[in-house]
């Protein structure tokens, strides 16, 4: 997929972010997280899919840090899927989040997602080893988790199979079970 998108670099690792570039998404910390990853794995290319009020600030900071980064801005959903397929790891370091559909979208592409422990992120990710607790030294611990995944790899099919469980039909069945248990039906 990297070749189709024109971003292929031999032996490179690809780490991406898909979402709004705003404070609540912790996108202000992307440069620091990316920089720490690049220090451990120099041949890492970074992809940011999305836009928002922090974009200019993030662009300036990543230029200062000399990171190999691509900003796509807002793009069509089919292109988003192509970029997710190109990523080795997608990150979601949000400070606050509901149920992030972007996690299952990435997993459906066979892409590992590393995220914070805020809101519904851990439940959406479904794998505790890919969740980073908030707190002191968060950015460093987050980068370490991503580096660990990049160095050790993963089975893409596990994520694809997990995502298949979240069809509309299955979600409705799960909701009916919850309501049934509450109402004692």
Our count of domains for the chain comes to 1
Q: What is the pTM of this model?
A: 0.92
Per-residue pLDDT at 185 exceeds 90: no
CATH number of the domain at 176, please. Answer: 3.40.50.2000
**Of 179, 163, 65, which is closest to residue 112 (Cα–Cα)?**
163
pLDDT tens sequence across 32-42: 999 999 999 99
Strand partners, 50: 73
For 17-31, the pLDDT digits (tens) are 999 999 999 999 999
Residue 47's domain comprises: 2-183
CA distances from residue 131 to 93, 124, 174 in whole angstroms, order as listed: 9, 10, 24
């Amino acid at each position: 997929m990297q070749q189709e998108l024109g971003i292929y670099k031999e032996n490179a690792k690809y780490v991406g972010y898909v979402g709004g570039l705003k404070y609540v998404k912790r996108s202000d910390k992307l440069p620091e997280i990316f920089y720490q990853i690049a220090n451990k794995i120099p041949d890492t290319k970074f992809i940011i899919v999305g836009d928002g009020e922090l974009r200019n600030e993030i662009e300036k900071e990543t230029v200062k840090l000399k990171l190999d980064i691509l900003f796509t801005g807002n793009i069509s959903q089919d292109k988003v899927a192509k970029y997710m397929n190109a990523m080795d790891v997608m990150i979601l370091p949000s400070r606050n989040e509901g149920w992030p559909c972007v996690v299952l979208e990435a997993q459906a592409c066979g892409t590992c997602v590393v995220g914070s422990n805020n809101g519904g992120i851990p439940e959406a990710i479904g794998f505790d080893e890919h969740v980073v607790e908030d707190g002191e030294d968060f950015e460093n611990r987050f980068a370490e988790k991503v580096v660990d995944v990049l160095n050790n790899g993963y089975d893409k099919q596990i994520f694809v199979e997990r995502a298949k469980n979240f069809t509309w039909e299955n979600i409705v069945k799960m909701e009916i079970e919850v309501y049934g248990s509450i109402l004692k039906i």
